[in-house]
């Protein structure tokens, strides 16, 4: 078999009231930080026209129109049309890929129909150059040890014989990331390798290559600026010596927001990895007094040196992690 990589490097790293302020003497509560944003202008796409030749079926065209019109686009008064038009193009390309047209791309041209202070209405023309759809011939997970390959494959809602859908792979790997995170593998990444042979060029052989990384246990924990109730709820999750459960930790942060400052963010949480003993130094500092923050060094995530262009790690994210 002659492999012709159609490389899609997909990584995931997923991530991601009642409170009391621990104050130093003379510290005065400061109000939650406010973000001043200019008013947004809503973009209404009232019609979508296809131009040029393409091989999309009527059903695929309908999916295109539906995916574009249900997307929420907006701009500030100073942003040009290209800002949201690029968003339309990303939605269109994502739809193309979900239909198996991996090599396709689009060109979007907006036409202003009407403008009001709070919204603008546009017609959109789309030119599509789409490649024939690819289908999955084989799909496997490789180099995984913490979970059985079959358990990880269950996270990917794509089977041999179906049209290739990049988003299903993406969502599946994010589900795999959550499984790994619950077992302390917070730096797990994955890469999708694709290949075909010359006799059946539209059938893909897919392999999700897993890099599990270190399994971390909870090391030292410091919690500042939270109520006793919040600390008591956190203690079973952050028990020193136990495997760090990323999912339980993020669930606490997102489900118990009433116990946190209203402007709590990832900036309040620092985790330093000790690769020598596989432990985490965890600091949660929700104090709101100038100069009170713990001076922790930046997070250093280990990345395989031999392929940093394909395997990458991103900063820890904890709040509102929907991906």
What are the pLDDT digits (tens) for 104-115?
Answer: 667 888 888 998
φ, ψ of residue 30 to 5 degrees: the values are -105, 145
Q: What is the pLDDT of residue 148?
A: 95
pLDDT under 70: residue ranges of the chain: 1-38, 53-55, 99-105, 130-131, 289-316, 318, 320-323
Q: What is the pLDDT of residue 149?
A: 93
Q: What is the pLDDT of residue 59?
A: 81
pTM of this structure: 0.63
Helix (H, G, I), strand (E, B) or coil at 168: helix
Going from N- to C-terminal start, the domains of the chain cover 41-129
Q: What is the pLDDT of residue 31?
A: 47
Q: What is the pLDDT of residue 309?
A: 30
CA distance 56 to 128: 9
Q: What is the pLDDT of residue 289?
A: 67
CA distance 198 to 160: 19
Distance of alpha carbon 254 from the chain centroid? 16
| Residues contacting 202, CB < 8 A, separation 6+ | 132, 133, 134, 135, 196
pLDDT tens digits for range 10-31:
343 333 334 334 443 344 444 4
Q: What is the pLDDT of residue 143?
A: 94
Helix (H, G, I), strand (E, B) or coil at 217: strand
Distance of alpha carbon 97 from the chain centroid? 18
pLDDT tens digits for range 128-142:
776 677 889 999 999
> Domain 41-129 has what CATH class?
alpha beta
């Amino acid at each position: 078999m002659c492999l012709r990589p159609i490389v899609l490097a997909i990584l995931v790293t997923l991530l991601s009231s009642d409170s009391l302020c621990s104050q130093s003497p003379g510290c005065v509560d400061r109000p939650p930080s406010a973000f001043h944003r200019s008013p947004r202008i809503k973009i209404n796409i009232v019609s979508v026209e296809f131009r040029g030749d393409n091989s999309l079926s009527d059903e695929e065209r309908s999916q295109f129109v539906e995916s574009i019109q249900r997307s929420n686009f907006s701009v500030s008064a100073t942003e040009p049309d290209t800002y949201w038009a690029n968003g339309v193009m990303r939605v269109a390309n994502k739809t193309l890929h979900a239909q198996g047209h991996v090599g396709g791309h689009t060109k979007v041209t907006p036409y202003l129909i009407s403008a009001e202070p709070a919204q603008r209405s546009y017609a959109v023309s789309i030119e599509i150059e789409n490649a024939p759809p690819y289908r999955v011939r084989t799909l496997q997970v490789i180099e995984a040890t913490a979970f059985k390959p079959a358990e990880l494959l269950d996270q990917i809602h794509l089977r041999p014989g179906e049209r290739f859908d990049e988003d299903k792979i993406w969502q599946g790997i994010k589900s795999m990331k959550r499984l790994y995170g619950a077992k302390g593998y917070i730096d797990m990444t994955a890469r999708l390798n694709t290949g075909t042979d010359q006799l059946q060029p539209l059938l893909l052989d897919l392999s999700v290559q897993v890099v599990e990384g270190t399994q971390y246990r909870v090391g030292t924990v410091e919690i500042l600026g939270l109520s006793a109730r919040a600390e008591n709820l956190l203690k079973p999750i952050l028990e020193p010596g136990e495997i760090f459960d990323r999912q339980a930790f993020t669930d606490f942060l997102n489900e118990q927001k009433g116990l946190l400052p209203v402007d709590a963010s990832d900036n309040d949480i620092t985790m330093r990895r000790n690769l020598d003993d596989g432990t985490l130094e965890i600091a949660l500092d929700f104090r709101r007094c100038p100069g009170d923050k713990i001076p922790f060094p930046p997070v250093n995530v280990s990345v395989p040196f031999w392929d940093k262009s394909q395997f990458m790690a991103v900063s820890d994210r904890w709040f509102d992690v929907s991906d």
